[in-house]
């Protein structure tokens, strides 16, 4: 649809802001006569046409501001909000537009990234509380091993920067906050080669991130919530409808807890065969999971970042303030149960595909130092010689805090 043809169908006062858009981005857009009663307000901020490349369209940010009235036959066109690169100052909106058969969700600006010292403090507080509750539950082996995990570190540093650090002891317990990042990285390494090979086998597949939620049931344990959503998920992927649009993928489970009870939801890295309307997918999910309200699907442009986005949920440390004796007891009940797995055609592919020897050897994780004493500091503009220093977890936090204050 050409921009000029589109402009003829809309109110005169809205034609001006359409001129900066790439015509191929529009799937459908129509606005009723400007004398109609206003129903929605928005302002579209166009991006230069040079930013739009074939196959990777630049999204347009939409904000509430200007009064426009949508035609009845396209009122469902604006059902979710789009943005990929959003300035932190922009506000969210309840509107959307559809382009090239894809609809993506808008988010409230860029999240403020936590400082390293804050992250380390959160992990340490969570670990200490877990150790306390594990002791009360008579899980002495877990408690002893986790208490030593990340207590002392061998840091390769120049005095101003830390080039690398390795803990003297790792517990490798699934819910340990100190081991979380390493565990996530190992899963990414494990699946990344399979994902790249699967995409190469069929270039028409589009990798997407899909989130499935379910209705909360008060008093339900984490184990029961997991069993319930996986039962619904298995019913969904067995349907012809799902196989028509998706070629399998990877699922990872996340459980959160608040006053209303445990909430277990699935984060999926899926391979889309062809475009699917999010409303249609949500309707199918509601059939197998009654009461489910939220569903989100979006395309990704980086396989590794997409995998990390999914896998981070199974390794995300539980904040100390959310930990209770009962919640730790329920976490222990999940022992031996999968929190991540493959499904569909991708599962069969992983079973038959043989990794090259060099890639297979990289899957065996190790804590070998990245640098040795005497090498130059890798930080830009530094170049000082590195030396080894033993730091406790408290000293490590204090070092990063001092560094952040100077910056």
Q: In what order do the strands lie in the sheet with 206-212?
A: 295-299, 206-212, 261-272, 246-258, 340-343
Higher pLDDT, 382 or 19: 382
Q: How many domains does the chain have?
A: 3
Residue 69: pLDDT band with limits 50, 70, 90: very low
Pair (106, 122) in one structural domain? no
The residue range of the domain holding 210 is 180-355
Give the model's pLDDT for residue 373: 85
The mean per-residue pLDDT over the stretch 367-396 comes to: 87
pLDDT tens-digit profile of 220-241? 999 999 999 999 999 999 999 9
Pair (340, 371) in one structural domain? no
Query: What is the percent of the chain where pLDDT is above 70?
Result: 70
The mean per-residue pLDDT over the stretch 171-193 comes to: 90
List of residues 6+ apart from 339 with CB closer than 8 A? 174, 252, 253, 314
Q: Kindly state whether residue 361 falls inside one of the protein's structural domains.
A: no
Pair (271, 381) in one structural domain? no
Pair (87, 222) in one structural domain? no
Q: Single out the residue in 111, 127, 161 at which a domain terminates.
A: 111
- Alpha-carbon 339 to chain mean position: 15
- Alpha-carbon 281 to chain mean position: 19
The answer, yes or no, to whether residue 312 has pLDDT greater than 80, is yes
Pair (21, 63) in one structural domain? yes
Q: Kindly state whether residue 360 falls inside one of the protein's structural domains.
A: no
Higher pLDDT, 403 or 62: 403
Beta bridge pairs of residue 269: 209, 250
Pair (137, 107) in one structural domain? no
List of residues 6+ apart from 140 with CB closer than 8 A? 134
What's the pTM value of the predicted model, to 2 decimals?
0.69
pLDDT tens-digit profile of 326-381? 999 999 999 889 999 999 999 999 998 887 765 544 554 556 667 888 889 988 88
């Amino acid at each position: 649809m050409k921009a000029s043809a589109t402009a003829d169908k809309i109110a005169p006062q809205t034609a001006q802001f359409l001129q900066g858009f790439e015509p191929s981005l529009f799937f459908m857009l129509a606005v009723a006569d400007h004398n109609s009663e206003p129903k929605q307000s928005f302002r579209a901020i166009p991006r230069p046409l040079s930013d739009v490349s074939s196959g990777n369209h630049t999204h347009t940010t939409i904000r509430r501001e200007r009064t426009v009235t949508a035609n009845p036959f396209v009122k469902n066109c604006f059902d979710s909000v789009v943005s990929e690169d959003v300035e932190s100052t922009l506000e969210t909106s309840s509107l959307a537009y559809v382009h090239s058969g894809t609809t993506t969700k808008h988010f409230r600006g860029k999240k403020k990234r936590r400082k390293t010292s804050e992250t380390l403090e959160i992990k340490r507080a969570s670990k200490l509380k877990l150790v306390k509750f594990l002791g009360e539950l008579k899980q002495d082996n877990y408690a002893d091993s986790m208490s030593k995990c990340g207590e002392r570190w061998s840091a390769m540093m120049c005095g101003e920067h830390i080039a690398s650090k390795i803990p003297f002891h790792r517990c490798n317990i699934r819910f340990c906050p100190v081991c979380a990042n390493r565990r996530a990285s190992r899963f990414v390494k494990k699946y990344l080669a399979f994902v790249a090979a699967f995409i190469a086998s069929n270039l028409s597949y589009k990798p997407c991130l899909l989130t499935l939620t379910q209705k909360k049931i008060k008093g339900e344990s984490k184990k029961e919530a997991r069993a319930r959503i996986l039962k619904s998920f298995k019913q969904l992927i067995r349907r012809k409808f799902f196989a028509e649009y998706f070629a399998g993928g990877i699922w990872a489970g996340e459980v959160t807890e608040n006053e209303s009870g445990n909430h277990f939801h699935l984060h999926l890295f899926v391979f889309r065969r062809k475009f699917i309307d999010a409303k249609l997918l949500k309707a199918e999910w509601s059939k197998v999971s009654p009461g489910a309200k939220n569903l989100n699907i979006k395309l990704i442009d980086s396989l590794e970042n997409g995998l990390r986005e999914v896998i981070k949920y199974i390794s995300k440390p539980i904040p100390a303030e959310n930990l209770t004796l009962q919640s730790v007891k329920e976490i222990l009940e999940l022992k031996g149960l999968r929190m991540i797995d493959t499904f569909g055609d991708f599962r069969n592919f992983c079973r038959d595909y043989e990794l090259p020897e060099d890639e297979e050897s990289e899957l065996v994780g190790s804590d070998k130092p990245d640098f040795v004493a005497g090498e130059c500091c890798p930080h830009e503009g530094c170049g000082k010689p590195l030396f080894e220093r033993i730091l406790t977890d408290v000293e490590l936090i204090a070092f990063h805090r001092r560094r952040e204050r100077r910056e």
